[in-house]
Protein backbone atom coordinates (compact mmCIF):
# COMPACT_ATOMS: atom_id res chain seq x y z
CA UNK A 1 0.00 0.00 0.00
CA UNK A 2 1.23 3.47 -0.80
CA UNK A 3 1.72 5.62 2.23
CA UNK A 4 0.13 8.97 1.69
CA UNK A 5 1.31 11.77 3.94
CA UNK A 6 -0.63 15.02 3.98
CA UNK A 7 1.09 18.16 5.11
CA UNK A 8 -1.14 20.98 6.33
CA UNK A 9 -0.96 24.13 4.27
CA UNK A 10 -0.97 27.35 6.27
CA UNK A 11 -2.22 30.37 4.41
CA UNK A 12 -1.57 33.67 6.12
CA UNK A 13 -4.35 36.15 5.55
CA UNK A 14 -3.11 39.28 3.88
CA UNK A 15 -3.35 42.31 6.11
CA UNK A 16 -5.27 45.34 4.98
CA UNK A 17 -3.21 48.48 4.49
CA UNK A 18 -4.02 52.07 5.37
CA UNK A 19 -2.21 54.55 3.16
CA UNK A 20 -1.45 57.90 4.78
CA UNK A 21 0.13 60.87 2.98
CA UNK A 22 1.30 64.33 4.00
CA UNK A 23 4.27 66.67 4.48
CA UNK A 24 7.43 65.75 6.35
CA UNK A 25 6.87 67.81 9.50
CA UNK A 26 4.35 65.60 11.34
CA UNK A 27 5.80 62.35 10.00
CA UNK A 28 7.59 61.18 13.17
CA UNK A 29 4.62 61.14 15.60
CA UNK A 30 2.17 59.88 12.98
CA UNK A 31 4.56 57.10 12.00
CA UNK A 32 5.04 56.08 15.65
CA UNK A 33 1.28 56.05 16.19
CA UNK A 34 0.88 54.05 12.96
CA UNK A 35 3.17 51.28 14.16
CA UNK A 36 1.34 50.92 17.48
CA UNK A 37 -2.15 51.11 15.98
CA UNK A 38 -1.24 48.73 13.18
CA UNK A 39 0.24 46.14 15.51
CA UNK A 40 -2.78 46.17 17.80
CA UNK A 41 -5.33 46.00 15.00
CA UNK A 42 -3.58 43.60 12.62
CA UNK A 43 -3.38 46.21 9.88
CA UNK A 44 -0.48 47.85 8.07
CA UNK A 45 -0.43 51.65 8.26
CA UNK A 46 1.96 53.00 5.64
CA UNK A 47 2.85 56.67 6.10
CA UNK A 48 4.44 58.44 3.15
CA UNK A 49 5.78 61.93 3.84
CA UNK A 50 7.45 64.71 1.92
CA UNK A 51 6.65 67.44 -0.60
CA UNK A 52 3.30 66.82 -2.30
CA UNK A 53 4.68 66.39 -5.86
CA UNK A 54 6.57 63.29 -4.70
CA UNK A 55 3.47 61.38 -3.62
CA UNK A 56 0.31 62.93 -5.05
CA UNK A 57 0.13 60.67 -8.12
CA UNK A 58 0.13 57.52 -5.98
CA UNK A 59 -2.11 59.10 -3.36
CA UNK A 60 -4.76 59.75 -5.99
CA UNK A 61 -4.93 55.99 -6.45
CA UNK A 62 -4.88 54.61 -2.90
CA UNK A 63 -4.86 57.29 -0.17
CA UNK A 64 -7.00 56.64 2.89
CA UNK A 65 -5.84 59.66 4.88
CA UNK A 66 -4.26 63.02 4.09
CA UNK A 67 -2.71 65.21 6.79
CA UNK A 68 -1.26 68.70 6.78
CA UNK A 69 1.56 70.51 8.56
CA UNK A 70 -0.80 73.41 9.26
CA UNK A 71 -4.51 74.01 8.85
CA UNK A 72 -3.98 76.21 5.81
CA UNK A 73 -1.95 73.47 4.15
CA UNK A 74 -4.81 70.96 4.20
CA UNK A 75 -7.24 73.67 3.13
CA UNK A 76 -4.99 74.54 0.19
CA UNK A 77 -4.74 70.85 -0.66
CA UNK A 78 -8.51 70.43 -0.65
CA UNK A 79 -8.93 73.52 -2.85
CA UNK A 80 -6.36 72.21 -5.31
CA UNK A 81 -7.77 68.67 -5.33
CA UNK A 82 -11.50 69.25 -5.18
CA UNK A 83 -13.68 66.58 -3.53
CA UNK A 84 -10.68 64.40 -2.67
CA UNK A 85 -11.00 64.62 1.11
CA UNK A 86 -14.11 64.11 3.19
CA UNK A 87 -14.55 67.47 4.93
CA UNK A 88 -16.84 65.93 7.55
CA UNK A 89 -13.98 63.69 8.69
CA UNK A 90 -11.47 66.51 9.03
CA UNK A 91 -9.92 66.48 12.51
CA UNK A 92 -7.39 68.70 14.25
CA UNK A 93 -4.78 66.61 16.06
CA UNK A 94 -2.39 68.84 18.04
CA UNK A 95 -0.66 72.17 17.70
CA UNK A 96 3.07 72.83 17.56
CA UNK A 97 4.96 76.01 18.22
CA UNK A 98 7.92 77.69 16.59
CA UNK A 99 11.48 77.96 17.89
CA UNK A 100 14.86 79.11 16.68
CA UNK A 101 17.08 76.28 15.48
CA UNK A 102 20.79 77.02 15.79
CA UNK A 103 24.03 75.10 15.40
CA UNK A 104 24.95 72.62 18.15
CA UNK A 105 26.52 74.50 21.04
CA UNK A 106 24.89 77.74 19.83
CA UNK A 107 28.22 79.34 18.78
CA UNK A 108 26.61 82.72 17.94
CA UNK A 109 24.96 82.82 21.41
CA UNK A 110 21.50 83.42 19.99
CA UNK A 111 19.04 83.72 22.87
CA UNK A 112 16.06 85.63 21.51
CA UNK A 113 14.24 86.69 18.35
CA UNK A 114 15.91 90.09 18.65
CA UNK A 115 19.34 88.47 18.42
CA UNK A 116 18.54 87.44 14.86
CA UNK A 117 18.71 91.10 13.82
CA UNK A 118 22.32 91.51 14.93
CA UNK A 119 25.05 92.00 12.31
CA UNK A 120 26.78 88.84 11.16
CA UNK A 121 23.83 86.46 11.70
CA UNK A 122 22.98 84.37 8.64
CA UNK A 123 19.40 83.10 8.64
CA UNK A 124 17.93 80.24 6.65
CA UNK A 125 14.32 80.76 5.61
CA UNK A 126 11.69 78.36 4.29
CA UNK A 127 9.16 80.35 2.33
CA UNK A 128 6.64 77.60 1.81
CA UNK A 129 5.10 74.44 3.23
CA UNK A 130 4.02 74.82 6.87
CA UNK A 131 6.47 77.65 7.53
CA UNK A 132 4.96 80.17 5.14
CA UNK A 133 5.03 83.51 6.98
CA UNK A 134 6.04 81.87 10.25
CA UNK A 135 9.03 84.06 11.09
CA UNK A 136 7.22 87.25 10.12
CA UNK A 137 4.31 86.49 12.44
CA UNK A 138 6.77 86.15 15.31
CA UNK A 139 9.17 88.97 14.43
CA UNK A 140 6.30 91.43 14.06
CA UNK A 141 5.56 91.14 17.76
CA UNK A 142 9.04 92.47 18.53
CA UNK A 143 9.35 94.97 15.67
CA UNK A 144 12.16 92.82 14.29
CA UNK A 145 10.86 92.18 10.75
CA UNK A 146 13.25 94.57 9.00
CA UNK A 147 16.34 93.38 10.86
CA UNK A 148 15.59 89.70 10.32
CA UNK A 149 14.75 90.18 6.65
CA UNK A 150 18.12 91.82 6.07
CA UNK A 151 19.85 88.83 7.67
CA UNK A 152 18.08 86.15 5.62
CA UNK A 153 20.84 84.64 3.53
CA UNK A 154 18.70 82.29 1.45
CA UNK A 155 15.10 81.09 1.17
CA UNK A 156 13.98 77.58 0.24
CA UNK A 157 10.66 76.32 -1.06
CA UNK A 158 10.11 73.56 1.49
CA UNK A 159 11.59 71.99 4.61
CA UNK A 160 13.35 69.17 2.78
CA UNK A 161 15.29 71.72 0.72
CA UNK A 162 15.93 73.75 3.86
CA UNK A 163 17.42 70.76 5.66
CA UNK A 164 19.68 70.05 2.69
CA UNK A 165 20.80 73.68 2.70
CA UNK A 166 21.46 73.64 6.44
CA UNK A 167 23.59 70.53 6.08
CA UNK A 168 25.55 71.75 3.07
CA UNK A 169 26.17 75.37 4.07
CA UNK A 170 27.62 75.67 7.56
CA UNK A 171 27.49 79.46 7.39
CA UNK A 172 23.78 79.40 8.25
CA UNK A 173 23.51 80.33 11.94
CA UNK A 174 19.79 80.18 12.61
CA UNK A 175 16.47 78.95 11.26
CA UNK A 176 13.04 79.97 12.58
CA UNK A 177 11.20 76.70 12.31
CA UNK A 178 8.92 74.49 14.36
CA UNK A 179 10.44 73.23 17.59
CA UNK A 180 9.37 69.74 16.53
CA UNK A 181 12.03 69.69 13.81
CA UNK A 182 14.78 69.81 16.43
CA UNK A 183 13.75 66.34 17.62
CA UNK A 184 14.24 65.08 14.07
CA UNK A 185 17.56 66.92 13.63
CA UNK A 186 19.21 66.62 17.03
CA UNK A 187 22.60 65.84 15.52
CA UNK A 188 22.77 69.12 13.58
CA UNK A 189 20.70 71.55 15.63
CA UNK A 190 20.19 73.01 19.08
CA UNK A 191 16.92 74.69 20.00
CA UNK A 192 16.24 78.16 21.39
CA UNK A 193 12.69 78.16 22.69
CA UNK A 194 10.45 81.20 22.30
CA UNK A 195 8.23 82.62 25.06
CA UNK A 196 4.51 81.95 24.69
CA UNK A 197 3.86 85.68 24.47
CA UNK A 198 5.43 85.87 21.00
CA UNK A 199 5.23 82.29 19.80
CA UNK A 200 3.11 81.16 16.87
CA UNK A 201 1.29 77.83 16.83
CA UNK A 202 -0.05 75.92 13.87
CA UNK A 203 -2.32 72.90 13.79
CA UNK A 204 -1.99 69.38 12.41
CA UNK A 205 -5.16 68.49 10.51
CA UNK A 206 -6.00 65.09 9.06
CA UNK A 207 -8.92 63.81 7.00
CA UNK A 208 -10.21 60.62 5.39
CA UNK A 209 -10.24 60.65 1.60
CA UNK A 210 -13.35 60.12 -0.49
CA UNK A 211 -11.63 57.25 -2.34
CA UNK A 212 -10.70 55.31 0.80
CA UNK A 213 -11.65 51.64 0.84
CA UNK A 214 -10.92 51.46 4.57
CA UNK A 215 -12.93 54.35 5.97
CA UNK A 216 -13.72 52.72 9.33
CA UNK A 217 -10.09 51.76 10.15
CA UNK A 218 -9.01 55.21 8.94
CA UNK A 219 -11.39 56.88 11.38
CA UNK A 220 -10.25 54.51 14.12
CA UNK A 221 -6.63 55.50 13.48
CA UNK A 222 -7.58 59.17 13.88
CA UNK A 223 -9.39 58.29 17.11
CA UNK A 224 -6.28 56.50 18.39
CA UNK A 225 -4.10 59.54 17.75
CA UNK A 226 -6.59 61.62 19.74
CA UNK A 227 -6.26 59.41 22.83
CA UNK A 228 -4.04 60.22 25.78
CA UNK A 229 -1.51 57.68 24.51
CA UNK A 230 -1.48 59.30 21.08
CA UNK A 231 -1.12 62.75 22.62
CA UNK A 232 1.87 61.57 24.66
CA UNK A 233 3.58 60.44 21.46
CA UNK A 234 2.98 63.80 19.79
CA UNK A 235 4.29 65.67 22.84
CA UNK A 236 7.47 63.61 22.74
CA UNK A 237 8.09 64.96 19.23
CA UNK A 238 7.50 68.61 20.13
CA UNK A 239 3.74 69.12 19.94
CA UNK A 240 1.60 70.65 22.70
Residue 14 — pLDDT band, cuts 50, 70, 90?
low
10 is a domain residue: no
* 36 and 77 belong to one structural domain: yes
Is residue 175 one of the residues assigned to a domain? Answer: yes
Residue-level pLDDT at 9:
46
The structural domain count of the chain equals 2
Q: Kindly list the strands in the beta sheet with 91-92, ordered across the sheet, starting from the edge strand earlier in the chain.
A: 44-49, 17-22, 65-67, 205-208, 91-92
79: domain CATH number is 3.40.190.10
Are residues 100 and 192 part of one domain? yes
Within-domain flag for 44: yes
Q: Are 73 and 123 within one domain?
A: no
**109/194 same-domain check:** yes
Specify if 8 maps to a domain: no
Query: Does residue 231 surpass a pLDDT of 80?
Result: yes
**Per-residue pLDDT, 129:** 84
Which structural domain, as residue segments, surrounds residue 80? 17-94+203-236
Residues 66 and 78 in one domain: yes
Residue 2: is its pLDDT beyond 80? no
Same domain, 130 and 34: no
| 9 is a domain residue | no
Q: Do 103 and 173 belong together in one domain?
A: yes
Judged against a pLDDT cut of 90, whether residue 193 lies above it is answered with yes
- So what's the pLDDT on residue 75? 97
Q: For 226, which DSSP code?
A: T
Residues 100 and 56 in one domain: no
> Percentage of residues in the chain with pLDDT exceeding 70?
94
pLDDT greater than 60 at residue 81: yes
pLDDT at position 13 is: 47
Q: Is 170 part of a structural domain of the chain?
A: yes
Assess if residue 11 is contained within a domain: no
Q: What would the mean pLDDT of 108-124 be, rounded to a whole number?
A: 98
Stretch 13-42: mean pLDDT, rounded? 93
Same domain, 78 and 109: no
Do 137 and 89 lie in one domain? The reply is: no
Residue pair 78/33 in contact by the 8 Å Cβ criterion: no
Q: Are residues 122 and 65 in the same domain?
A: no
Distances (CA, A) of 156 to 30, 90, 115, 166, 188: 25, 29, 22, 10, 18
Q: What is the reported pTM?
A: 0.88
Say if residue 216 is in the same domain as residue 137: no
Asked, for residue 4, whether it belongs to a domain, the answer is no
Amino acid sequence: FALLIFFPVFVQAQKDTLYVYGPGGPFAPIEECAKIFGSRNNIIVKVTAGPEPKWIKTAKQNADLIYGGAEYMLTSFSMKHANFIDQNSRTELYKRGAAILVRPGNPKNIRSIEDLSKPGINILDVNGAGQLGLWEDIAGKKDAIDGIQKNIKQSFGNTALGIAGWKEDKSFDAWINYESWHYRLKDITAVVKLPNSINVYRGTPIAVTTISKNKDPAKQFIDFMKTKEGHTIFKKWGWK
